Amino acid sequence: MHPSPDIGIWIGALLTLGIFSFLYGDNPYYKFCEALFVGVSAGHWFVTLFWTVFVAKMIRNVEIGLNTFITQGFSAGMADYVHWSYIFGGILGFLMLLRLFPKIGWISRWSLAFVVGTTSGLFFINYLVSNGLRQVEKSILSLGAEFWFGNLILVVGTFCGLIYFFFSKEHKGAFGGLARVGIWFLMITFGATFGYTVMSRMSLLIGRMDYLLGNWLGLIG
């Protein structure tokens, strides 16, 4: 046994044990670790976004623009290195803060409207192509190919799954039968997804165990 001399590893290990202690029952040690995690995460995100977005993007660009304007005046070439769009973004960001003042809080909706509008426009085509058209294309498969059985399952599963979500007609008779087959496909899909989720959680636990037994206690190589 060769425990790590690194204080950082010790802190990580003790915090890990603190979070694990919840498995026995709620306790102050767990609550401390949880609060610390939430606080550190919030602080980390605030600092990261402040320096990588607010300072790096907006402040720097405004600074460059103002300095250039003061020393050289307005010139046509400024557009090449001064990104005015960030100032527009800064104004929209400022308008969001007006929510803090109830009387003029409605102005913040302009920023939200801009975000919702641009996001819709940006995603509409991408979703239509990637999640719509391409998937339809991939569902049109040859039944004479090498993997004909897999192709058949995929086509039947897709068709029956769509039938299940068609609620304009009552699920009775042959239509109801197809919907029932669709449910089976959905259940198998959810089962596979759940299996993957279990594997994922086990993987995280393996990572923590390796950290505790290897990095911290030095019991494994």
Partner 1 sequence: MGFFERLLKIDRRIIFTLIAIAIAMPLFFDVSMYVETTSEVRGVFTAVDTLSAGSKVLISFDFDPGSMPELQPMAESFFRHCFSRDLKVIVMGLWPQGPLQANWALDVILNEPDIKAKNLQYGVDYVNLGYTAGNEVVIQRMGSNIHAAFPADYYGTPLDDIPLMKGVRNFDNIDFVYNLSAGYPGTMEWVQFAADRFRATLGAGNTAVQAPLMYPYLGKRQLVGILGGMKGAAEYEVLAQRPARGVRYMFSQGIAHAVVIFFVIVGNVAYFATRKKRKES
Question: Looking up tokens 């007006």, which residue turns up?
Answer: 98
Q: Which stretch binds partner 1 (CB under 8 A): 65-73, 92-100, 121-129, 164-172?
A: 121-129
Q: Which is nearer to partner 1, 2 or 172 (CB)?
A: 2
Contact letters for partner 1, residues 132-171 (x by CB under 8 A): --xx--x---------------------------------
User: Tokens representing 142?
Assistant: 């040859």
Q: Which is nearer to partner 1, 42 or 202 (CB)?
A: 202
Does 6 participate in binding partner 1 (rule CB under 8 A)?
Answer: no
- Angle, CA 187 vertex, CA 183 and CA 191 arms, to 5°: 170
Indicate which single residue of 27, 52, 67, 85 sits in contact with partner 1 (rule: CB under 8 A): 52
Map the footprint of partner 1 across residues 59-118, applying CB under 8 A: none
User: Tokens representing 148?
Assistant: 């004909």
DSSP label at residue 215: I
Q: Rounded to the nearest whole angstrom, what is the least distance from the CB of residue 217 to partner 1 in the complex?
A: 11
Q: Rounded to the nearest whole angstrom, what is the least distance from the CB of residue 56 to partner 1 in the complex?
A: 8
Question: Measured between alpha carbons, how far is residue 158 from residues 41, 146, 178, 180, 201 in Å?
Answer: 41, 20, 11, 13, 29
Report, in this order, helix, strand and coil percent for the chain, each rounded to 5: 80, 0, 20
Question: Measured between alpha carbons, how far is residue 215 from residues 14, 19, 22 in Å?
Answer: 13, 18, 23
CB atoms within 10 A of CB 19: 14
Residue 150's SS3 state is helix
Q: Rounded to the nearest whole angstrom, what is the least distance from the CB of residue 97 to partner 1 in the complex?
A: 18
**Closest to 16 (Cα-Cα) out of 41, 34, 40:** 34
Does 209 participate in binding partner 1 (rule CB under 8 A)?
Answer: yes
Does 23 participate in binding partner 1 (rule CB under 8 A)?
Answer: yes
Does 27 participate in binding partner 1 (rule CB under 8 A)?
Answer: no
Does 43 participate in binding partner 1 (rule CB under 8 A)?
Answer: no
Q: Which is nearer to partner 1, 60 or 169 (CB)?
A: 60
Site of interaction with partner 1 (CB under 8 A): 23-24, 44-45, 48-49, 52-53, 57, 122, 126-127, 129-131, 134-135, 138, 189, 192-193, 196-200, 202-210, 213-214, 219-220
